[in-house]
Amino acid sequence: MVDLSPLRDAIIDGNAKMAKALTDQALKEGTDPQSIVTTYLIPAMDEVGRRFECNEYFVPELLIAARAMKGSMELIRPLLVKGGVQPIATVAIGTVKGDLHDIGKNLVASMLEGGGFTVVDLGVDVAPEKFVASVQEKGVNIICLSALLTTTMPAMKDTIAALNSAGLRGKVKVMIGGAPVIQRYSDEIGADGYSDNASSAVQLARKLAAAA
Amino acid sequence: MSTPSSLWQGPVADGPDFTRNLGAMLAGGRSARPTLFEFYHNVPLIRRIAGDRPGEPDYVREIRAWAALGYDHANLGARNGFCFKAGDRHRDRSISLNEGAVISDRDSCERYPWPQVEALDWSYLDIAAAALVPGQVLMASGPGGVLENVISLVGFERLCELISDDPDLVQHIVDRVGSCLLAYYQRVAPHPGVGLLMSNDDWGFKTQTMLSPRQMRRFVFPWHERIVAAGHAAGKPVVLHSCGNLSPVMDDVIDGLKYNGKHSYEDGITPVEEAFSRWGSRIAILGGIDVDYLCRSPIAEVHRRTAALVAAADGRWAAGTGNSVPEWVPQESFLALIDAGVGGRPRVRHAA
Ligand code: B12
């Protein structure tokens, strides 16, 4: 396989044009699409996440890198689908009922997409029933709940209760996050995991998907 | 109205005295007695403290409530429609992903109805000033700050893209917003009722600033520097209200931008006690009792924590919340903060 480290660097630098051009060229040269993803794109986003976690990168750099990654994925995804490659898991993400904060939620969604997940974005102010419906209708395996307000955190608990009532709790993993959320709260309400940033959210989702 | 067990014992007896207290602290000295700082209080709380007087503008009722609670200042945002209108947002989709955003390129920036500061009616300032009690001053705050308004006009994700794709356009939009805000502060600062300015602009979140410190210095800080200078030119101190983790830019806030005070703290980021020990000798630390903590902690614990910092800070801290007093903060918990914050200053007891 040709050395595509310039592609990895283009993603890390958020150079969408370059990333797309290099991906296009690699595919035309017959490089295996799956190996582009696993050898270059996902490690690139992991590196971006690492830099974000140690404050070397800031949200704008993260978003720009995620955009570059998406551009490459647009070229690769149809080929993966054609080849019968399944996404790691399908994630439904939303900001819980009563809460309109979505910058963090969007960032987590972008990073999950970059990490190879299929993401269903349910938006903000999402009622528990909508999360339930996403599992029933879209075959979601992981639910990501974001809450930024003390007053909306209980909506996370309500969502888990709604999944229980619908008899779906055993079918999905629930991850939670947002500024006031802590691990103890996740344990308290019986979520499957918590993470305090978009990069570690991807690691957590991978762990949960593997355990599912 | 007030229940017998309530911590609301009636207005503080000694009236406001900005110059000797909050003003002295903002000038780098010490408050002569324990004092308070806040951004805003919810309406039911204001009503409980100040009651209702028919025909009175709501901001006049607020000014009465601030004095009764024991503050030296009362916050007053623009009451003449000065703001940057963004588009409608639909709740069932992501709102920051450019939705509600009204500026996407040079054309839409030119077409945007930028507020005409000089053409607005400023008489509310006179009405508000006339409602002040002796020793009380107005704190003129903005309709959001430079970064907040750019984000709401452009959309956060789009802004991040533009910073990399077309930084000149970003500069142009920032300059439009910044120059309107500067004109506002220049207009309100000299008013005799205004004792201080608040530049309110949320810059950060749990772990970082929304833009990198380098981008903040390039786009956002130059306008803050001018706003602070406008306050100082009128002889008024200027405080920054900004949420989030600002540790990497606090030296800029203090030495570069020359803010006199800093408001907004969260326990999950930098507890106010830590902020006080890190920066308290260089800038006035204002408020800071975490909103989440205030909602969840026993009343006696809120009282203890507030009283402990009042004592330790010795006139270099103004007691208040980490952010503001939204409706869901239990009133008694907030009143415990106030009670400890005024350090036992006597009250005018309510008539039964
Ligand atoms: C920007 C902002 C706003 C914007 C939101 C714009 C938008 N489109 O999202 C506006 C101005 C609209 C707003 C409104 C309000 N806000 Co606000 N806001 C903020 C602020 C400054 C930053 C939030 C943010 O975008 N951070 C950037 C992102 C990248 O970080 P993040 O959201 O934390 O996400 C990261 C992690 O938490 C994690 N994560 C997030 N979600 C998830 C989900 C999962 C599953 C996982 C694993 C991880 C994860 O990954 C992300 C990336 O690393 C915070 C301050 C703060 N400390 O967070 C206050 C803050 C959240 N707001 C607050 C308040 C009080 C309000 C208002 C009530 C204000 C008011 N009085 O009107 C309203 C409420 C509106 C509503 N109903 O939702 C308080 C909440 C206090 C509390 N504990 O209840 C805060 C903490 C400010 C403070 N200092 O007190 N706000």
Tell me the nearest-neighbour CA distance from B94 into chain A, angstroms.
Answer: 5
- Is residue B346 situated within a structural domain? no
- A23: domain CATH number? 1.10.1240.10
Residues A53 and A119 in one domain: no
Whether A135 and A186 map to the same domain: the answer is: yes
Residue B61 lies in a domain: yes
> B335-339 long-range CB contacts below 8 Å, 24 or more apart?
B335/B6, B335/B7, B335/B8, B336/B7, B336/B299, B336/B300, B336/B302, B336/B303, B336/B306, B337/B289, B337/B294, B337/B302, B337/B303, B337/B306, B338/B7, B338/B36, B338/B69, B338/B70, B339/B7, B339/B9, B339/B303
pLDDT at residue number A3: 83
Q: Return the bridge partners of B200, or none.
A: B241
Kindly state whether residues A113 and A189 are assigned to the same domain: yes
Domain boundary among the residues A58, A83, A108 is at A83
B238 lies in some domain: yes
Q: How far is the CA of A95 from the centre of ligand 1 (A)?
A: 10
Torsion from C-alpha of B99, B105, B107, B110, nearest 10 degrees: 80
CA B30 to chain centre: 21
Ligand 1 pocket mutation, candidates B202, B240, B266, B293, criterion most atoms within 8 A of CB: B202
- Print the domain residue range for A196: 90-211
Q: What is the pLDDT of residues A88-125, one digit of tens each?
A: 899 999 999 999 898 889 889 988 988 889 999 999 99
CA dihedral A64, A68, A70, A71 (to 10 degrees): 140
Number of domains in chain A: 2
- What CATH number does the domain containing B273 carry? 3.20.20.210
pLDDT at B93: 45
Residue B3 lies in a domain: no
Going by pLDDT thresholds of 50, 70 and 90, the confidence category of residue B5 is low
A174 shares a domain with A70: no
User: Which residues in chain B (151-170) have CB-CB distances under 8 A to chain A?
Assistant: 156-157, 159-161, 163-164
Q: Domain residues for B198?
A: 22-341
A108 and A185 housed in the same domain: yes
Contact B209, A58 (CB under 8 A): yes
Chain A's closest residue to B326, CA to CA, is: A151
pLDDT at residue B47 greater than cutoff 70: yes
Do both A58 and A161 map to the same domain? no
Predicted ipTM of the assembly: 0.84
Closest CA to B196 of B291, B79, B286: B286
User: B151: CA distance to ligand 1 center in Å?
Assistant: 14
B16 in a domain, yes or no? Answer: no
Same domain, A77 and A99: no
- The dihedral through the CA atoms of A76, A77, A78, A82 has a sign that is positive
Q: Find the B242 Cα to ligand 1 centroid distance in Å.
A: 13
B108-150 residue pLDDT tens:
999 999 999 999 999 999 999 999 999 999 999 999 999 999 9
**pLDDT for A72 beyond 90:** yes
Q: What is the pLDDT of residues B8-20, one digit of tens each?
A: 888 888 899 999 9
Domain end: A36, A65, A83, which one? A83
- CB within 8 Å of chain B, chain A residues 15-54: none
3-class secondary-structure state, position A124: coil
The DSSP call for residue A212 is -
Note the pLDDT of residue B349.
65
Using only C-alpha atoms, chain B has a radius of gyration, in whole angstroms, of: 20
Give A168 Cα–ligand 1 centroid separation in angstroms. 29
A104, A75: one domain: no
State whether A123 and A207 are in the same domain: yes
Closest CA to ligand 1's atom 33: A179
Q: Please report the residues numbered 86 through 125 in chain A whose beta carbons come closer than 8 angstroms to any beta carbon of chain B.
A: 100, 102-106, 121, 123-125
Of A83, A102, A135, the residue that ends a domain is A83
A173 and A101 together in one domain: yes
Query: Taking CB atoms and an 8 Å cutoff, what residues of chain B touch A123?
Result: 91-95
Q: For B59-98, what is each residue's pLDDT tens digit?
A: 999 999 999 999 999 999 999 999 999 876 544 444 444 5
Q: What percent of chain B has pLDDT over 70?
A: 94
- Give dist(CA B188, CA B78) in Å, integer: 9
- The number of folded domains in chain B is 1
Tell me whether strands B284-286 and B317-319 are parallel, antiparallel or unpaired. parallel
